[in-house]
């Protein structure tokens, strides 16, 4: 078992003929992901990846032909909002946006629209998801994780890889790893994923990787204290980061003193979470 | 990207928000001329991209053009929080009856824009927010609907603005919303918005921040960037799409991904070292970007060792290795370098670096310890 993606996930790649799209589609297919279609406007009718994957002009056409139920987006930042709207309008229930650098006002409109449609968004600016041995949606290198009972959720990309790799080195595996992305406005948040892990029978322990900024880790701590029965281990990046450049008075008014690594660590510890000093310490805290 | 007060107010004026008459000056003589045009009684305001200018003495009132010249001279010689004052804004002085705080920013928790207002505007607004939160009015705006007129009226009523000013206030609110929307701002702040003694509303101070990720559609705003106020290495880094912040330590760090970059700094410190910088080469960096990053790190003479921590995902380790080789060839660095490559194409990357005389590391902790050792 797993959350969000498994061997039944029928994946569509938006931007499949671009550099990054093609490279990572090759990796996803090689991993065993059920990659059913690609979309690049103007290239409909072509086949890519040694003739294994058909390309369509639009998500709607791809969905009609292949019944894809998840889309992963690799298009450049200025086109990514449109790609997310398109996937939602075509009836794709799970949209994963890898693209980094999407404008925040665009993301607020995307988030609002997708919420109204009941579409689940993961990202943007995220590494995607990996259910080891079943499905890889995004860019997490497949060979750094093995199947297991640890659910991993993270705001960071490459830091997530460190943790999966550290787990693998001691023979521990992941049920599913979800990279939710580090942008100020994104889709799925920590609490959404923690709730799914709590209800997933194959997830026995959870690793939460956070970083400075925002209040998501603090909210996750509240959720863990009140709703979670499974043990959670955490790491917060940015404990030595210099104080961020200030955002006028408005930032301070909205977020108050929240957002520091120290505050997040305290909140998580108060919720019974073991917090690692560095990512490679996580496996020993899970034992 | 932060905009100066004078730039922010120019944008406000474009959207119908009343601002005082005034212009920016780079010399005391210019300031004097502007003061003469404005009738003598002016405010001289330092234009630096930090808060707390008033408390630092960077804002002064002059009663005559001659006094304006003298004060401008003083202020132009100041440094505020380490930033030299290069320009002053000379504004006609307003007779203030009441100060209001008014802003729009992004509420990341709510995933929506939020309009914030307070009847107790001015320099101590953060104090008000901390001690009298009921005096801060927050109204979230639906990003798909935009600001509605009733919301502006609600805000006016909530901050006890006299009814005579409601129409004018609604216009200012609509202007502020449009300014925020059309410039892709992350902050559009008026503090204070004043009621003058002759019963008009005016934005006496303005602060805007623009979303760097949206600058591709705002070439006009991009030109407003004041690179005088950035460290040259940061300007250079931005040109290559790198995120770089200089710090005081001696271990240069090049990492892919912001979270891992911060973690690498944390762990260097955990093992007794001091990072010289934060540098995120981003996802999918090619060899040219890596070479540029390396040159920026090595341009810091404090750097005694460099730590490369690359966990390939969208970034390919062989590309990074090629960039390192290009930069080594050009810069001929004399400091020891510790490199750790894991993930996508790591094997190919390691092979490329086999003859490059770098210290290699397996784990993150191992890499950090070796870098700390090498910097001694």
Separation between Cα atoms, residue B136 and residue A260, nearest integer Å? 23
SS3 track for A58-89: CHHHHHHHHCCCEEEECCCCCCHHHHHHHHHH
Sheet arrangement for strand B59-62? B22-25, B88-92, B42-46, B59-62
Phi, psi for A75 (deg, rounded to 5) = -85, 155
CA distance B257 to chain A (A): 6
Phi, psi for B115 (deg, rounded to 5) = -95, 130
Instruction: Exactly one of A199, A202, A249, A278 is catalytic; name it.
Output: A249
- Which has the closest alpha carbon to B120: B129, B109, B110? B129
| Residue B189 is among the residues annotated as catalytic for this protein | yes
Instruction: Indicate if B85 and B114 belong to the same structural domain.
Output: no
CA distance A52 to chain B (A): 22
Which of B92, B111, B139 is the last residue before a domain boundary? B92
Instruction: Indicate if B107 and B149 belong to the same structural domain.
Output: yes
Separation between Cα atoms, residue B198 and residue A245, nearest integer Å? 38
Instruction: Indicate if B50 and B72 belong to the same structural domain.
Output: yes
- The reported pLDDT for the residue numbered B139 is 97
Q: What is the mean pLDDT of chain B?
A: 92
- The reported pLDDT for the residue numbered A254 is 64
Contact criterion met (CB < 8 Å) for A237 and B259: yes
| Residue ranges of B 177-196 with Cβ closer than 8 A to chain A | 181, 184, 186-187, 189, 191
**Angle, alpha carbons A33-A38-A44 (nearest 5°):** 155
CA distance B66 to chain A (A): 33
Contact by Cβ (8 Å): A221, A215: no
- Please count the structural domains in chain B: 3
Which region among A175-179, B91-95, B220-224, B226-230 has the lowest average model confidence (pLDDT)? B226-230
Contact by Cβ (8 Å): B323, B286: yes
CA distance A64 to chain B (A): 28
DSSP letter (8 states) at residue A170: T
Instruction: Indicate if B243 and B305 belong to the same structural domain.
Output: yes
Contact criterion met (CB < 8 Å) for A251 and B311: no
Q: Which residue of B has its CA nearest to A215?
A: B109
Which tokens belong to A222?
């509240």
Instruction: Look at residue B5 and tell me if it is in a domain.
Output: no
Contact criterion met (CB < 8 Å) for A248 and B282: no
Instruction: Indicate if B349 and B364 belong to the same structural domain.
Output: yes
- The reported pLDDT for the residue numbered A256 is 62
- B78 burial type by CB count under 10 A (0-12 exposed, 13-18 middle, 19+ buried): middle
- Over its length of 287 residues, how does chain A's per-residue pLDDT go in tens digits? 699 999 999 999 999 999 889 999 999 999 999 999 999 999 999 999 999 999 999 999 999 999 999 999 999 999 999 999 999 999 999 999 999 899 999 999 999 999 999 999 999 999 999 999 999 999 999 999 999 999 999 998 889 999 999 999 999 999 999 999 988 899 999 999 999 999 999 999 999 999 988 889 999 999 999 999 999 999 999 888 776 555 557 666 666 666 888 899 999 999 999 999 999 999 999 98
B259 contacts in A (CB within 8 Å)? Answer: 154-160, 182, 209, 211, 237-238
Instruction: Look at residue B1 and tell me if it is in a domain.
Output: no
Instruction: Look at residue B10 and tell me if it is in a domain.
Output: no
Q: Which residue has the tokens 């799925």?
A: A188
Instruction: Indicate if B70 and B106 belong to the same structural domain.
Output: no
Instruction: Indicate if B338 and B240 belong to the same structural domain.
Output: yes
Total CB pairs under 8 A between chain A and B = 195
B130 contacts in A (CB within 8 Å)? Answer: 256
Instruction: Look at residue B250 and tell me if it is in a domain.
Output: yes
Separation between Cα atoms, residue B181 and residue A14, nearest integer Å? 28
- The CATH number covering residue B173 comes to 3.30.470.20
B112 contacts in A (CB within 8 Å)? Answer: 108, 112
pLDDT band at residue B4, thresholds of 50, 70 and 90? very high
Contact criterion met (CB < 8 Å) for B282 and A111: no
- Which has the closest alpha carbon to A174: A30, A283, A279, A273? A283
Instruction: Look at residue B12 and tell me if it is in a domain.
Output: no
Instruction: Exactly one of B101, B234, B244, B319 is catalytic; name it.
Output: B101
- The reported pLDDT for the residue numbered B226 is 85
| Residue ranges of B 9-48 with Cβ closer than 8 A to chain A | none
The sign one gets for the Cα dihedral A92, A96, A100, A101 is positive
Which of B74, B92, B110 is the last residue before a domain boundary? B92
- The CATH number covering residue B236 comes to 3.40.50.261
- Give the E-state strand segments of chain A in sequence order: 11-14, 35-39, 47-48, 53-56, 70-73, 94-97, 120-122, 128-131, 135-138, 147-154, 174-179, 205-211, 232-237, 274-275
Q: What share of chain A is helix, strand, coil (3-state, %, to 5)?
A: 40, 20, 40
The residues, ordered by sequence, that sit 6+ positions from A134 with a Cβ below 8 Å of its Cβ are A2, A5, A6, A7, A9, A32, A147
Which residue from B106, B184, B364 is facing A162, i.e. has the nearest CB?
A: B364
Instruction: Indicate if B290 and B273 belong to the same structural domain.
Output: yes
B272 contacts in A (CB within 8 Å)? Answer: none
Contact criterion met (CB < 8 Å) for A280 and B365: yes
**Angle, alpha carbons B261-B267-B272 (nearest 5°):** 130
B227 SS3 class: helix
Which residue from B105, B269, B283 is facing A250, i.e. has the nearest CB?
A: B105
CA distance A216 to chain B (A): 8
- The reported pLDDT for the residue numbered B285 is 79
pLDDT band at residue B109, thresholds of 50, 70 and 90? confident
Separation between Cα atoms, residue A250 and residue B202, nearest integer Å? 19
| Residue ranges of B 279-318 with Cβ closer than 8 A to chain A | 282-284, 311-315
Structural domain span for residue B185: 96-222
Instruction: Look at residue B4 and tell me if it is in a domain.
Output: no
Instruction: Indicate if B308 and B246 belong to the same structural domain.
Output: yes
CA distance A65 to chain B (A): 29
The residues, ordered by sequence, that sit 6+ positions from B180 with a Cβ below 8 Å of its Cβ are B104, B113, B188
DSSP letter (8 states) at residue B297: H
- The reported pLDDT for the residue numbered B316 is 85
B153 SS3 class: helix
Contact criterion met (CB < 8 Å) for B106 and A185: yes
Instruction: Indicate if B76 and B209 belong to the same structural domain.
Output: no
| Residue B101 is among the residues annotated as catalytic for this protein | yes
Instruction: Look at residue B162 and tell me if it is in a domain.
Output: yes
Instruction: Look at residue B268 and tell me if it is in a domain.
Output: yes
- Which has the closest alpha carbon to B334: B301, B290, B370, B367? B301
Contact criterion met (CB < 8 Å) for A247 and B105: yes
Contact criterion met (CB < 8 Å) for A250 and B184: no
User: How far is CA B174 from each of CA A1, B21, B123, B171, rounded to the nearest angstrom?
Assistant: 51, 21, 24, 5
- The reported pLDDT for the residue numbered A280 is 93
Contact criterion met (CB < 8 Å) for B311 and A158: yes
A162 contacts in B (CB within 8 Å)? Answer: 260, 263, 311, 364
Instruction: Exactly one of B5, B189, B234, B319 is catalytic; name it.
Output: B189
B257 SS3 class: coil
B122 SS3 class: coil
Average pLDDT (B293-308) is 93
Contact criterion met (CB < 8 Å) for B314 and A111: no
- The CATH number covering residue B34 comes to 3.30.1490.20
Instruction: Indicate if B241 and B359 belong to the same structural domain.
Output: yes
Which region among A77-81, A115-119, B200-204, B255-259 has the lowest average model confidence (pLDDT)? B255-259
High-pLDDT (> 70) share of chain B, %: 100
Which of B75, B92, B109 is the last residue before a domain boundary? B92
B101 contacts in A (CB within 8 Å)? Answer: 249
Separation between Cα atoms, residue A215 and residue A260, nearest integer Å? 9
Which residue from B142, B278, B312 is facing A241, i.e. has the nearest CB?
A: B278
Instruction: Indicate if B277 and B158 belong to the same structural domain.
Output: no
- B244 burial type by CB count under 10 A (0-12 exposed, 13-18 middle, 19+ buried): buried
Q: Which residue of A has its CA nearest to B208?
A: A248
Q: From the candidates B263, B285, B363, which should be mutated to test the interface with A, based on the most A CB atoms within 10 A? A: B263
């Amino acid at each position: 078992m797993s959350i969000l993606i498994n061997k039944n996930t029928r994946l569509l790649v938006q931007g499949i003929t671009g550099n990054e799209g093609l490279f990572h589609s090759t990796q996803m297919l090689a991993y065993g992901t059920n990659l059913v279609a690609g979309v690049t406007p103007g290239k409909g009718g072509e086949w890519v990846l040694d003739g294994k994957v058909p390309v369509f002009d639009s998500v709607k056409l791809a969905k009609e032909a292949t019944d894809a139920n998840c889309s992963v987006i690799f298009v450049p930042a200025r086109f990514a909002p449109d790609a997310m709207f398109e996937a939602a309008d075509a009836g794709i229930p799970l949209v994963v946006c890898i693209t980094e650098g999407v404008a925040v006002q665009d993301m607020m409109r995307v988030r609002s629209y997708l919420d109204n449609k009941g579409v689940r968004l993961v990202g943007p600016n995220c590494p995607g998801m990996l259910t080891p041995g079943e499905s890889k949606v995004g860019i997490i290198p497949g060979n750094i994780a093995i199947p297991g009972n640890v659910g991993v959720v993270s705001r960071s990309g490459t830091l997530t890889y460190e943790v999966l790799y550290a787990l693998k080195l001691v023979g521990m595996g992941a049920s599913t790893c979800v990279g939710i992305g580090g942008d100020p406005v994104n889709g799925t948040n920590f609490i959404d994923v923690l709730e799914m892990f709590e209800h997933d029978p194959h997830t026995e322990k959870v690793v939460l990787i956070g970083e400075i900024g925002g209040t998501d880790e603090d909210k996750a701590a509240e959720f863990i204290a009140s709703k979670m029965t499974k043990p959670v281990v955490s790491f917060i990046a940015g404990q030595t980061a210099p104080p961020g450049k200030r955002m006028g008075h408005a930032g301070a008014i909205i977020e108050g003193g929240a957002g520091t690594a120290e505050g997040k660590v305290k909140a998580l510890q108060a919720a019974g979470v073991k917090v690692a000093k560095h990512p490679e310490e996580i496996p020993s805290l899970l034992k | 990207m932060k905009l100066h007060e004078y730039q922010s107010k120019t944008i406000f004026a474009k959207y119908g928000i009343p601002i005082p008459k005034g212009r920016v000056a780079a010399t005391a003589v210019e300031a004097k001329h502007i003061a003469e045009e404005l009738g003598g009684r002016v405010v001289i305001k330092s234009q630096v991209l930090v808060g707390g200018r008033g408390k630092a003495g960077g804002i002064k009132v002059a009663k005559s053009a001659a006094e304006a010249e003298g004060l401008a001279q003083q202020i132009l010689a100041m440094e505020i929080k380490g930033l030299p004052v290069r320009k002053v804004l000379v504004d006609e002085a307003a007779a203030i009856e009441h100060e209001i705080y008014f802003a729009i920013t992004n509420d990341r928790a709510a995933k929506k824009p939020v309009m914030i207002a307070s009847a107790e505007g001015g320099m101590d607004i953060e104090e008000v927010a901390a001690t009298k939160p009921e005096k801060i009015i927050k109204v979230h705006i639906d990003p798909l609907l935009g600001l509605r007129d009733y919301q502006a009226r609600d805000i006016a009523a909530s901050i006890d603005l006299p009814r005579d000013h409601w129409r004018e206030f609604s216009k200012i609110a609509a202007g502020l919303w449009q300014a925020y929307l059309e410039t892709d701002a992350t902050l559009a702040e008026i503090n204070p918005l004043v009621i003058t003694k002759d019963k008009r509303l005016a934005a006496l101070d303005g602060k805007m921040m623009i979303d760097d990720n949206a600058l591709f559609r705002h070439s006009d705003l991009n030109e407003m960037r004041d690179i005088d106020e950035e460290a040259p290495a940061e300007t250079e880094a931005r040109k290559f799409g790198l995120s770089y912040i200089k710090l005081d330590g001696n271990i240069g760090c090049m990492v892919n991904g912001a979270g891992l970059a911060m973690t690498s700094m944390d762990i260097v410190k955990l093992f007794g070292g001091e990072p010289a910088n934060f540098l995120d080469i981003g996802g999918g960096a090619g060899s040219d970007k890596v070479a540029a990053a390396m040159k920026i790190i090595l341009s810091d003479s404090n750097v005694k060792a460099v730590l490369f921590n690359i966990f390939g995902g969208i970034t390919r380790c062989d590309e990074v290795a090629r960039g390192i080789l290009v930069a080594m060839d050009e810069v001929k660095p004399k400091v020891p370098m510790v490199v750790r490559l894991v993930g996508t194409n790591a094997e190919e990357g390691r092979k490329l670096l086999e003859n490059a005389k770098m210290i290699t590391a397996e784990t993150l902790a191992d890499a950090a310890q070796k870098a700390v050792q090498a910097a001694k």
